[in-house]
Each structure stands twice: as structure tokens, then as C-alpha cells.
Amino acid sequence: MKFARWWLALTLLLGSLNAQAVSPQQRLAAGKQRLAARQQRLAARQQRLAAKQQRLAELLAQLRIENGHILFPSIYHSFQKQLGLGAAGDSSKQLSPELQDQLRVELEAWVRISREVSGFLAAVLEVRGEAVALQAEEFAADVFQEAEKQLQDAARAYHQNQRKKARQLSERARQLYLQAQAEAIRNRLLGEARIFIQESKDMGAENYAPRTLALVETLLADVERLVNSGRYDDPNLTRRSQLLEEQARHLLSLMQVIRSFHRDKAAAEAYLLELEGGLDSLAALVNYRPRYSQGLPQVIDELSDALHSFKNELDQLREENRRLREENQALRQQVARLEKQLGRKRSLASRIQRIGEMLAPRDISVRQEGDWLVLGIDNVPFAPGSSAIPPEAEAALQAIVHALAEFAGQKVQVVVSLLGKGNPAYNQNLAQQRARALAHYFQSQLPIPDRLIETLGEARNSAGSNSRGLNRVAVKIQLPGR
């Protein structure tokens, strides 16, 4: 017996060892599978980290769009440093997932803050942009830097809910930006304009471009007068300064072209042919064929008329497109409303069908009359002269309770029609009492407020012996959306 047990244990042990035996090739394949799975997990993790890093770079770019680098430069540069972003927006840092999540939340908050503050300081930022366009950062550096400080202080005050202080600081910043504009105009633009005028005169502008020269000299005098008057907030200063810069450069360019005509007799022809080629390209866009034999001024006039007509047609098409978009939007909304109504009707029809199937075994009729769902019982066997609910009607009434629960919150009417002979006034009063008893029964089963339930008793004479003494009950439920 002991030998048999020993032999059985040895057999089981050898079987277990054989089952666990794995060839070297199988172990190598299993190892490769585990390595591949690990590499896949690492690649997926790197992709998630890269996506988060890209999101942070996008948020930093959004912060710049919302003027965060102007209003809150220290905050902006702090984020830039933490992200390790270079000028091209590429990141040289690999952040941990926890730090990425923290920076994302902070960046999203500062984007919202900068957007709100930019809205408050929109007028000042516009003046700042004009100052930058006039190169005030370089040619009025001290005033411009002071304006920047006042603007950043205004942004911080607004963020700290110090609105009165923020308004005062923003107005101060606006005045300084206007002053910086004027100084940049004085230090750069006026000097450049005088140089352009003198160079143009040296090339004979007084003889070959007298009207353009007169215009530039008039603009120069106007801008000098505005700058010297100290009226930095005059809107004409910026407009006329920009016009002066453009016209002064135009004068010099015009004289360079005219001078080239003197040096090379064929240059004028080449210039005009090049101009005609440009006009041809433009005319082709509006289906106009220039006839240069009529003279260049005539061609330009006709092309101008054609462009004007083209613009009018384009405006009409844009207006028509806008109208069609509005009509399309209205149709989409109408279709959505109809689909919603159809969905409600289908749902209602399904509910009514379900109620009909539920009440059919109780001999309760279900029909729709206009805006009402009518549940009818041919006879509730009240005791003669009594309005007490008969026990044999409990099952049918409970079925109606379930139907009422399907339309909770809807108006209910309970109508009892007493068919029989006798005193009409007595029968009418008895029918009304029975209708109220049924209403109280339904209210005892469901939370139906008094304002949503009505009762009506009717007395009808009946000559037929089969219908005498019948109590026909109709429970009417107002359908939703009616």
C-alpha cells in the first residue's frame, strides 16, 4: 500500500515537471513578445507626453495672441522658461506628466485673464500698435518704456479688481504712447521726409513732379505743426504722419523712374509696356479688353468703371449669399423643430399604444379625441344611491392609475354619466358625487394636485332596459404639448 502511494506521488510530480518544461525557442519567443509589449507601452506614453507638450506650446502661443507677453511679460517669460521653448516654439525640455497638467491649468487661466484684460485695454493697445509702427521703441525709447510700465501696471490693477486705478493707469499709458509717437515722428519720420524731399529736388522734382512735391511739402508742414503744438492725442497726427511717409517715398520713387528715362531712352517704352501688361492682367479679371490706341488715361477710366461695376456685382453676390445663409439657417432650425415635433408625436403614439395594450384585458377603451386621451369604462357597478367605490371595480381603476402615472403633471377630467330613469336633478347630483369619489381615489394613489383634476357628473334618461342604471366613466387626460 505504501509503495502504491509513493508511486502515485512520483507519477504526479513527473507529470507536473513535463507540463512545465519549455523549450529555449519558446522562452525566447515569449521574451520577445514581452519586450514588444513594453516598447508599445513606452511609445504610447511618449505620444501622450508629446501631445500634452504640443498643447502647452499652443496655449503659450494663444497667450501671446491675447497680448499676454505685453500685459504680463514676467508671467509669459516664466512659462516660456519652464517649457524650454525657443524662438521657433520648439521645446528642449521633457516635462513630467504632473508638471504638464499643472502648467496646462495655469496657462489656460492666464489666457482667459489676458483676453479679459485685453478687452479692457483695447484702446490703449491700439495706440501702442501705432507707436510700434512708427518705430517709437527705437526713436522714442524712454517714453515708450515708461508707457509700457504704465500699461503693465494697469493690467495688474485690473486683474486685482482695482478698476478705478486701472482706468487711471491706462489713460496715463495712452498719453505716453501718443507722446512716443510724436517723438518718433520728430526723431525719425521728419528727418527721413526732409532727406527724401531734398534727394527728389536734386533729381529735378520741381520741374518733373511739381504736384507730388507740393503735396509732400504740405504734409511735412502739417505734421511739424501738429508735433510742435504738443497735441499728441490729435487723431490727424498719426494719419497725416503715415501719409507723409508714404508720399515722401512715392516722390523719391517717381523721380528715380523719371531719371531712368533720361539715362535710357527705351526705358520709358519698357516702363509703359510693363504698365500695360499689368493693366491687361487686371482687365482680364473683369472681362474688359483695353484699347491703348485711345490713350492710357481713357483705358484707366474705363477699367476703373469696369472694376466699380465688378465690385457692385460682388457686393450683390455677397448680400445674396448672406441672405441665402440666413434662409438656410432658418430652414435648418425649422427642420430641427419639425423633427423634434415628429419625435414627440412618435413617442406619444408609442405611449398611447402601450396604454391601450395594458388596459385592453380590463375592458377599458382607449381613444384620442383632439387634445385628449379618453379612457372609458362602460359601467362601474356603484351601489344604488351610493358614491362609494365598489370593490369589484378596483382592478380596472388600478389599471387607470397606471395609465395616469404615464402622463404625470397633465390635466385630468373625470366624467361619470348615469343612465337611467328618475329625477334628473337627483341623478345629476349622484353622478357628480361619484365623479368626485373617483377623483379622490385617483388622488389617493397619485400626487395629482386639485388644480389639475376636474369632475363632471351627467344624468341621461334611457328608455332601454339594458342600459338602465349604468355608470359610464370617462377619464380624460390632456396630452402633452397641447
Residues 348 and 296 in one domain: yes
Enclosing domain of residue 396: 363-478
Residues 387 and 473 in one domain: yes
Would you state the pLDDT for residue 469?
A: 58
Would you state the pLDDT for residue 32?
A: 76
DSSP string, 367-434: EEETTEEEEEES---PPTT--SPPGGGHHHHHHHHHHHHHTTTS-EEEEEEEESSS-HHHHHHHHHHH
Alpha carbon distance 179, 172 (integer Å): 11
Report the first-to-last Cα separation within the chain, whole angstroms.
91
Is pLDDT at 21 greater than 80 in this prediction? no
Strands (E), 70-200: none
Taking CA 327 as the corner, what is the angle to CA 322 and CA 329, rounded to the nearest 5 degrees? 95
Whether the CB-CB separation of 456 and 435 falls below 8 Å is answered with: yes
Would you state the pLDDT for residue 85?
A: 59
- Name the strand (E) or helix (H) holding 183: helix 163-184
Q: Which residue has the higher pLDDT, 396 or 268?
A: 396
Residues 377 and 462 in one domain: yes
Is pLDDT at 88 greater than 50 in this prediction? no
**Residue position matching grid coordinates 453676390:** 317
**231 lies in a domain?**
no
**255 lies in a domain?**
no
Would you state the pLDDT for residue 134?
A: 86
Would you state the pLDDT for residue 69?
A: 93
Would you state the pLDDT for residue 30?
A: 73
Whether the CB-CB separation of 303 and 282 falls below 8 Å is answered with: yes
Would you state the pLDDT for residue 462?
A: 63
**428 lies in a domain?**
yes
Averaged pLDDT for residues 310-336: 91
Domain end call among 325, 341, 362: 362
Is pLDDT at 366 greater than 60 in this prediction? yes
Domain CATH number, residue 465: 3.30.1330.60
Residues 457 and 374 in one domain: yes
Would you state the pLDDT for residue 152?
A: 95
**What pLDDT digit, counting tens, does each position of 293-319 carry?**
888 888 888 889 889 888 898 899 999
**436 lies in a domain?**
yes
Q: Nearest CA to 192 among 248, 271, 233?
A: 248
Residues 301 and 380 in one domain: no
- Residues forming a β-bridge with 419: 460, 470
Least-confidence region, from 40-44, 245-249, 326-330: 40-44
**343 lies in a domain?**
yes
Question: Please, what is the average pLDDT of the chain?
Answer: 86
Would you state the pLDDT for residue 35?
A: 79
Averaged pLDDT for residues 401-427: 89
Residues 404 and 419 in one domain: yes
Is pLDDT at 465 greater than 50 in this prediction? no
**What pLDDT digit, counting tens, does each position of 227-238 carry?**
888 777 777 888
Would you state the pLDDT for residue 10?
A: 57
Q: What percent of the chain has pLDDT over 70?
A: 91
Would you state the pLDDT for residue 241?
A: 86
Domain end call among 362, 395, 429: 362
Is pLDDT at 4 greater than 70 in this prediction? no
**What pLDDT digit, counting tens, does each position of 189-199 carry?**
888 999 999 99
Q: Which residue has the higher pLDDT, 401 or 421?
A: 401
Averaged pLDDT for residues 84-99: 63
Q: What is the pTM of this model?
A: 0.47
Residues 368 and 421 in one domain: yes
Would you state the pLDDT for residue 1?
A: 53
Calculate the CA 253 to chain-centre distance.
48
What is each CA distance from 162 to 118, 122, 171, in whole angstroms?
15, 17, 14
Is pLDDT at 20 greater than 60 in this prediction? no
Q: How does residue 87 score in pLDDT terms, banded at 50, 70 and 90?
A: very low
Averaged pLDDT for residues 443-462: 90
**89 lies in a domain?**
no
Is pLDDT at 328 greater than 80 in this prediction? yes
Averaged pLDDT for residues 358-367: 89
Residues 393 and 474 in one domain: yes
Is pLDDT at 14 greater than 70 in this prediction? no
Whether the CB-CB separation of 475 and 375 falls below 8 Å is answered with: yes
**449 lies in a domain?**
yes
**238 lies in a domain?**
no
Residues 471 and 390 in one domain: yes
Would you state the pLDDT for residue 201?
A: 92
**What pLDDT digit, counting tens, does each position of 110-157 carry?**
999 999 999 999 999 999 999 998 899 999 999 999 999 999 999 999
412-419 sheet: strands from edge to edge? 365-369, 372-377, 470-478, 412-419, 453-460
SS3 276: helix
Residues 381 and 292 in one domain: no
Query: In the chain, how many domains are there?
Result: 2
Half-sphere exposure of 13 (CA within 13 A, CB side): 6
Would you state the pLDDT for residue 42?
A: 78
Q: Nearest CA to 402 among 436, 437, 351, 455?
A: 351
Is pLDDT at 336 greater than 60 in this prediction? yes
Would you state the pLDDT for residue 13?
A: 54
Residues 314 and 397 in one domain: no
Residues 431 and 374 in one domain: yes
Domain end call among 362, 386, 412: 362
Averaged pLDDT for residues 90-112: 81
